[in-house]
Structure 1
């Protein structure tokens, strides 16, 4: 039986003194008046991902997290890796033109509509996909999805907006010309996947886009890839049945295609790039030198992606300068055994960059001027030391392995607290695998990784030619170990 609240207004000037009857609040084990009972834990069910395929091949995937804020995205298998070799930049332009004028709305009208709906909208074109993502109130989902469908189905691509975006891209790239830290991962891709779309970045083609890409090129590229069986509509905190009905209503007219698209083959080449710093960069106060070392990894579709992710966490790293000291107490190898022992190192961080069927795992690092040769040798030693310790110090390594697993699992579940990341996880998994694996399933795969798995994938990395990028003063580059020395160093480990 519910206990009624007694609301008594105290007399003016009296803050509940003697003679004033106090309001009685329910005890913690009593229900609150007017608040529905949440039910017992046994009656609650964990959110489940549902997937439905429309008649045109488009997949609708969602998970209801029972929130009043909904996140959804349209995931199109249309990234830079799929561009014609002679037309780089098409994906970037499609991304930038995503919410511009359509046959039914001007770009200003779209901005006004999104503000009226309280939408946060974003378009991102990456190496493999283009994503149109929206965060909005659950009640505004129909209007928000209609707006996205309009942007996808009815773009105008007028010349004025195309020129405007090319100008904006040029301005951004000019501002980044000497930002080597930002572009190190792109330099590694350029060398690792030489002369291929996967190796291209805006710094390679921004100044040729206006002459090389026409409005007709954009229309044809979109027509080829924007077909139902290459698209996933993914949502979090949405009713699946309502989501499917809305998708059928607004996206059911997307064309379908049973004709397979011939994808550009991705071939890892490896190699090296030793490049002097620009004069402008060296004129800056506290400029740095940079070194990157990468190896061929694997795609997300391979089970070896799990031990590689753990190897990346074991190496860890980051910047040597941060509030609370280097790494704020983290115990990764690049902090404890490398940066903390060498004051001239500014940063060193392991990065795993996987795609559907290829990728690289790398260490990106920087140092104070004049220390590039020592930095390069130190990074090579860190890779080799890890393999050596797995073989010769198994008990000590086991604690590192456990710590890395826990860190990786913590990262997974922390990210999955956010609706937008849940929607993104659903969209990308369904686009690659055709299904969605839960966080628990992924963590079980992480837990199953052994020290032997880590050693096996490390030796597999060393079998391929490395990718080496060094950027520094001319004097530093002349003193660098050569690419052949680095390659032979790792090949000897495999032969042993």
Structure 2
């Protein structure tokens, strides 16, 4: 089961940067009914798992548990989400944990480079800021800031409960009403918040962002504007992404790793949000190979932008998209997430057959037109590695 709250880092002001994620940590620290130990031991003592994650547009608290223990799980997670105390002592103690998480991110260049690229492309717009916040924002964040954010945002209108597994819908609805109805939480007549769709896309910048680190590997991330989450071309984007960098048979993998041995990790990705998106290419390589790898990656992108993909790549991309979709539904967590996102960010829940039909409907012209517009845009570049001067990379994206 998952309790999804329609609030993420994009909802924060600059002064609140990192508060959504900070709050996610704090909701595990105790309620009037349970201590932090009580929360974890209640689930773990029956063999379950409880955790949470924060994204740019939503937060999720989830439990994986035996079907017979569903009432327990629902009661525990509802108690956390609705009745956290956010005690001052816990806020101060957890501050250090969040700062450690920021340090861990900074120590992982393959992770840090993604935040670096978002900041380069979108600047101080909400999408450009890190979900974790900054050392400065977390260090200076008062208990009242986090608690006020909690009381304002964690309301019934912003919450979706999703569940998947051996269960009955009516029984789950009854459990939700009981678990969330404590202390009048469900009183009132608020309508559910509308799904997060559309909005004004932030301005996009190009250029180079460099984070100097004494690493043995250069971490390179090219990014360009992508599609928003509900763009009808997203199915063509899935096929294009598979052909470019979605696996070992993709163009980027074959050209950079298989034929030349220039990198171990190379892939492309599409990140999609309500108002805009990003298409990116990541490569990790020896620092002395960085210029050669960037030239090669740009060459592959330019070739696909001008000439499109082959018939074999179209067929393979569709097959990969179909397989990923169907095989993903074998996991109850994926099913649960699909249900929640249909309510929070899509406003539709097409059947698997409908989605397969949309994938099959993608044509060569669809992919060619998308590639021409998407891949010909001037890119931004984020680099984490042992380099002193960002200007050395400007020619690679010019």
TM-score, scaled relative to structure 2: 0.90
With over 3 angstroms needed to count, the CA separation of the structure-2 counterparts of 1:475 and 1:92, relative to structure 1, is closer
Do the aligned residues in 2 keep the contact of 1:334 with 1:349 (CA within 8 Å)?
A: yes
Q: For residue 190 of structure 2, what is the aligned residue in structure 1? A: 257
What do the CA deviations read for 1:166-211 (whole angstroms, capped 9, x no partner)? 1112223224434221212211111121102211126751343131
The match for 2:151 is 223
Gap change, CA 1:331 and 1:216, over 3 Å in 2: same
For residues 354-413 of structure 1, give each alpha carbon's deviation from its aligned partner in whole angstroms, at most 9, with x where no partner exists. Answer: 1223210100112212121111111111111113332xxx7xx11111011101111111
Q: Aligned equivalents of 1:223 and 1:301: distance in 2?
A: 30
- In the TM superposition, residue 446 of structure 1 has moved relative to its aligned partner by 0.9
Aligned to 2:212: 277
Deviation at 1:465, TM superposition (A): 4.1
Q: Do the aligned partners of 1:351 and 1:363 also contact (CA within 8 Å) in 2?
A: yes
Cross-structure match for 2:360? 447
| Cα-Cα RMSD | 2.4
The offset of 1:302, in angstroms, is 1.3
Tell me which structure has the larger Cα radius of gyration: 1
Among residues 51, 54, 59, which one is paired with 1:122 in the alignment? 51
Partner of residue 437 from structure 1, selected from 347, 350, 372 = 350
User: Partners of 2:258 and 2:279 in 1: how far apart?
Assistant: 23
Equivalent residues of 2:122, 2:128 under 8 A apart: yes
Structure with larger RCO (C-alpha < 8 A, sep 6+): 2
Q: Match of 2:175?
A: 246
Residues 160 and 358 of structure 1: CA distance in aligned 2, closer, same or farther (over 3 Å): same
Counting only pairs closer than 5 Å after superposition, residues 293-442 of structure 1 correspond to structure 2 as 293-316=222-245, 330-390=248-308, 397-442=310-355
Q: Retained in 1: the 8 A contact 2:95–2:139?
A: yes
* Matches of 1:88 and 1:305, distance apart in 2: 30
Question: What is residue 196 of structure 1 aligned with on the other side?
Answer: 125
CA distance in 2, matches of 1:308, 1:458: 8
Query: Given the alignment, which residue of 145, 167, 171 partners 2:96?
Result: 167
Contact 2:49 2:63 in 1 (8 A): yes
Instruction: Tell me the SS of whatever aligns to 1:293.
Output: strand
SS at match of 1:94: helix
Query: Which has a greater percent of helix?
Result: 2
After superposition, residues 102-117 of structure 1 pair within 5 angstroms as 102-117=31-46
Q: Distance in 2 between matches of 1:171 and 1:366?
A: 25
- The reply on whether 1:154 has 2:83 as its aligned counterpart is yes
Q: For the Cα contact (< 8 Å) 1:227–1:256, is it kept in 2?
A: no
Structure 1: 5+ residue stretches without partners: 1-71, 319-329, 488-496
* Long gaps (5+) in structure 2: none
Alignment partners' CA distance in 2, 1:461 and 1:471: 25
What is aligned with 1:23?
A: none
SS in 1 for 2:210: strand
Question: Structure 1 length as normaliser, TM-score?
Answer: 0.73
Alpha-carbon separation, structure 1, partners of 2:54 and 2:9:
8
